[in-house]
Amino acid sequence: MRRFKLALLAALTLSTGLTAAPAQAHEKPRPLGMENCTAGACHFAVPPGTYDVKVLLGGEAASSTSISGETRRSLLPETAAAAGERVARSFTVNVRTPEGEPMGPDGTPGLDLAVGGSAPALAGISVTPARHAHQILLVGDSTVCDQPAAPYSGWGQQLPQYLRRGLSVANYADSGESTVTYLRNPQLWATVQPLIRPGDLVLIQLAHNDKTTDEATYRANLETLVAGVREKGGEPVLVTPVVRRWFNADGTLNNDTALLVNGLGVDHPAVIRSVAAAQHVPLVDLTAGTKALVESLGVEGSKAIYLYHEKRDNTHTSVHGATVYAGLVRDALVAQHLVPEGLVRER
């Protein structure tokens, strides 16, 4: 099986400048850096593409800083620095239009970063085009997508914070999509497939909205997506859907609603596992992982994973829940050697 081959980028010296375009030999690069940042945000007028971002965190007082960007993507987890200390971190970010869901609004042109955390302190920043970065593309639904508004969050929105410079996430998950609609809509699969480059990982999680899809069609759609990824030289990875928080009286999730069995009796996770085995495709069994986690937390503890408190919603995840689920995805990718451990970070 072809594995995801990533070349580590050479270490670069942290600076506060951004070169928007290659300069002529007789010109000095035009720096764009901290002067484009306010106390809580930075904006860089760059075209769509993939960019390496290096930040220097810390200040005179003790600090704790996180970085998010574009449509509420978590790009760097909260990072502490002692008083007077400077901590360097880096990540790679995908800039696109639309900047969030493919069927959503275009968003703001360029790269927008938000500086957050309990005691934020940004001392320096450098943004440069990523010359050799690889990418993980995501195909999915509302449980995966870059959700535009709080309190919602998809796990794909939280995945970037677990990755280091050299690997970006291009999240093309879209709310409300099934395997049928994702393949049929020209703004979705027909737009995403040409973006796949040799060696890219493409994670596919579509099931929640296949409520009326029969098993033969569902299986064929998954096989079409797998073949389409391979046609471009990418590495398809099938992902079983996150469970719904729907408990039985005994505290288990062993029911059709929780485990994504549709009204026609189609067991979506089982079909995905079967296709993965038949097509020799790596599998991230997120159904099994999220089921075990939710059951371990119990009826009360699992409410914080979903939007039960805010919306009485037992399908969509909170920022906390999406972050936890993204961690499960990260662990599965590392365990199967689909991404090198050197390109992932602990939260």
In the chain, the percentage of residues whose pLDDT exceeds 90 is 86
pLDDT value at position 35?
A: 85
Taking the C-alpha atoms of residue 240 and residue 226, their distance in angstroms, rounded to an integer, is 14
Residue whose C-alpha is closest to residue 297's, from 260, 240, 252: 252
| pTM greater than 0.95 | no
Q: Given a cut of 60, is residue 30 above it in pLDDT?
A: no
Structure tokens at 67: 């970085």
Q: pLDDT digits over 80-129, tens only?
A: 999 999 999 999 999 999 999 999 999 999 999 999 999 999 999 999 99
**How much is the pLDDT for 314?**
98
CA–CA gap between residue 169 and residue 94 (Å, rounded): 6
Q: How many residues are recorded in the chain?
A: 347
Residues 161, 76: Cα–Cα separation, whole Å: 5
Q: Summarize pLDDT for 219-230 with one digit per residue, the tens.
A: 999 999 999 999
DSSP string, 97-124: SSSS-TTS----SSEEEEEEEEE--EEE
> What are 87's strand-pairing partners?
57
pLDDT digits 0-9 by tens, 137-187:
999 999 999 999 999 999 999 999 999 999 999 999 999 999 999 999 999
Q: Does the pLDDT value for residue 202 go beyond 90?
A: yes
Q: DSSP string covering 214-235, please?
A: -HHHHHHHHHHHHHHHHHTT-E
Out of 65-79, 172-186, 333-347, least confident range: 333-347
The tens digit of pLDDT for each residue in 245-270 reads 999 999 999 999 999 999 999 999 99
Predicted local distance difference test score (pLDDT) of residue 32: 63
Tell me what pLDDT residue 7 has. Answer: 34
> CA-CA-CA-CA torsion for 280, 286, 291, 294, nearest 10 degrees?
160
pLDDT of 213 over the 80 cut: yes
Averaged confidence pLDDT in the chain: 91
pLDDT beyond 60 at 338: yes
Specify the amino acid at residue 29.
Answer: P
Q: Which helix (H) or strand (E) holds 62?
A: none
What's residue 289's pLDDT? 98
**Phi-psi map region of 254: left, alpha, beta (phi>0 left; psi -120 to 50 alpha):** beta
The pLDDT of residue 75 is above 80: yes
* Predicted confidence band of residue 34 (pLDDT cuts 50, 70, 90): confident
